[in-house]
Amino acid sequence: MLTDGEKKVLRTFRQYLMDPGRMLCFTGPMLATHKNSLAKLVKREYLVPETFKGAYSLTNAGFQAMRTCGK
């Protein structure tokens, strides 16, 4: 089960119509706010951290979770 914070992160990916493998950057306050949730989603293998600071991309599992996590 996803936490509220993890759902917020996945909703951000949905807001930008992200597909698996496309990079989304979290910066400034947004990165600080979602730091723990991003780390948890990486551990669950829903996100992959990119080399660019604050950048993440969805895995196929993360894409499916994003589609079903509700609005």
**What is the residue extent of each domain of the chain?**
4-68
Q: pTM of the predicted model, to two decimals? A: 0.92
What tokens were used for 18? 């992200």
- pLDDT tens sequence for the chain (71 residues): 899 999 999 999 999 999 999 999 999 999 999 999 999 999 999 999 999 999 999 999 999 999 998 65
Q: Which CATH class is domain 4-68?
A: mainly alpha
Q: For 9, phi and psi rounded to 5 degrees?
A: -65, -45
